[in-house]
Amino acid sequence: MTLLRAKDLTKRFVLRGPLGSRAEFTAVDKVSFEVRLGETLAVVGESGSGKSTTARMIAKLMDPTEGVLEFEGEDVTAAKKDALARFRANVQVVFQDPFSSLNPRHTVERILMAPLVYQGIAPKGDRRSHAKELMERVGLNPDHSLRYPAQFSGGQAQRIGIARALAVNPKLVICDEAVSALDVSVQAQVIELLRRLQRESGFSYVFIAHDLAVVRQIAQRVAVMSKGKIVELGTTAQVFGDPQDEYTRTLLAAIPRIDPEWDRRRREAT
C-alpha cells in the first residue's frame, strides 16, 4: 500500500549574483517515487545531489516549485492549517545534528511534550509520563527527563531526536543522515534502535544516507540520486547486486569492502 507519493517534484532555487543578475538552479528535477506502508526506502547519492531538498519537500518543510505530493491518496501539495497539522502528525523528520535540532534551553521532558501540545494530543495518563515512556522506548533513562540536551552524549541526543519524532505516533519518519555524525559503534546501536522501533510500530522510513553499508542493513528499497534526478530505484538486492545505472556502479565501487560474502558476490557478478 502506498503511503506517500511524490510526482515530478521539482525545486528550483533563484541565485542572485552581482548587479542584480539572476540565475536559476534546479536542485531537484522531476523526482517521482512512492513510499510504501511499513517499508524503509533509502535515498543515496553524492553530496549536492538533492537528497535533503527532496526530504524537505516530502516533509513539507519546503514547497516544491513544481510537482505533486500525496499522502494516503490525498493531495497535500498545498495543504494549509488543519490539513497541514494532520500531515505533521503523520510525517516526522530526524536530522543529522541532534544538538542543533533540539532547543538547548529546554529540558528533555519539555522537548518531548512539545509535539503533543502542538497537536493538542492528550495521551493516556499525562504528557509528563508520556515523555518518560518515550525515553524508555528509545533506551534512555526516564529519570533524566529534566536534563538538558547538552548533558547527553551525541548518540543519546539523537535518541531524544528520535523520541521527539515518535511522540505523535507518525506513519512516516524521514531520517536525513540521522546516524552519519555518530561514531561507528554508536551508529550501530542507533540503527538497531531504528529497526526495533519500526518492528514495534510498523511505520515507514525514508532513510537518507551516504554510507551504503548502513543502507544495506536497513532498507528494502533504494533510490539513487545524481544531479537532482533519481537515476535508479529498486530493491536493495537489485540496486546493490545488479546496478543498471552507470552512476550507481561508480557509487558502489567506492564503498569500502567490509562484507566478504557480498564482496565475493559482487566480484562474481562483474
Ligand X SMILES: Nc1ncnc2c1ncn2[C@@H]1O[C@H](COP(=O)(O)OP(=O)(O)OP(=O)(O)O)[C@@H](O)[C@H]1O
Binding site for ligand X (CB under 6 A): 13, 27, 45, 47-53, 210
d(CA 231, CA 112): 38
Q: What is the phi-psi region of residue 205: left when phi exceeds 0, alpha when psi lies from -120 to 50, beta otherwise?
A: beta
Rounded least distance, CB 267 to Mg ion, Å = 31
- Distances in whole angstroms, Cα of residue 3 to Cα of each of 84, 142, 203: 16, 33, 10
Which CB atom, from 50 or from 115, has the smaller least distance to ligand X?
Answer: 50
Rounded least distance, CB 52 to Mg ion, Å = 3
Helices and strands: H and E segment counts in the chain: 11, 10
Which CB atom, from 31 or from 135, has the smaller least distance to Mg ion?
Answer: 31
Give residues 34-93 in contact with Mg ion (rule: CB under 5 A). Answer: 51-52
Contact 233, 224 (CB under 8 A): yes
Say whether residue 145 binds Mg ion (CB under 5 A): no
Which CB atom, from 128 or from 229, has the smaller least distance to ligand X?
Answer: 229
Rounded least distance, CB 17 to ligand X, Å = 12
Say whether residue 204 binds Mg ion (CB under 5 A): no
Residue 132 binds what, of ligand X, Mg ion, none (CB under 5 to 8 Å, by partner type)? Answer: none
Residue 226 binds what, of Mg ion, ligand X, none (CB under 5 to 8 Å, by partner type)? Answer: none
Residue 53 binds what, of ligand X, Mg ion, none (CB under 5 to 8 Å, by partner type)? Answer: ligand X
Which CB atom, from 96 or from 145, has the smaller least distance to ligand X?
Answer: 96
Rounded least distance, CB 33 to ligand X, Å = 15
Rounded least distance, CB 26 to Mg ion, Å = 16
> Considering all CA atoms of the chain, what is the largest pairwise distance in Å, rounded to the nearest integer?
60
Which CB atom, from 13 or from 118, has the smaller least distance to ligand X?
Answer: 13
Contacts of 239 (CB under 8 A, 6+ apart): 221, 222, 224, 232, 233, 248
Which CB atom, from 1 or from 23, has the smaller least distance to ligand X?
Answer: 23
Sheet with 22-36, edge to edge strand ranges: 22-36, 2-16, 66-71, 74-75
3-state secondary structure 89-137: HHEEEECCCHHHHCCCCCCHHHHHHHHHHHHCCCCCCCHHHHHHHHHHH
The binding site for Mg ion (CB under 5 A) comprises: 51-52
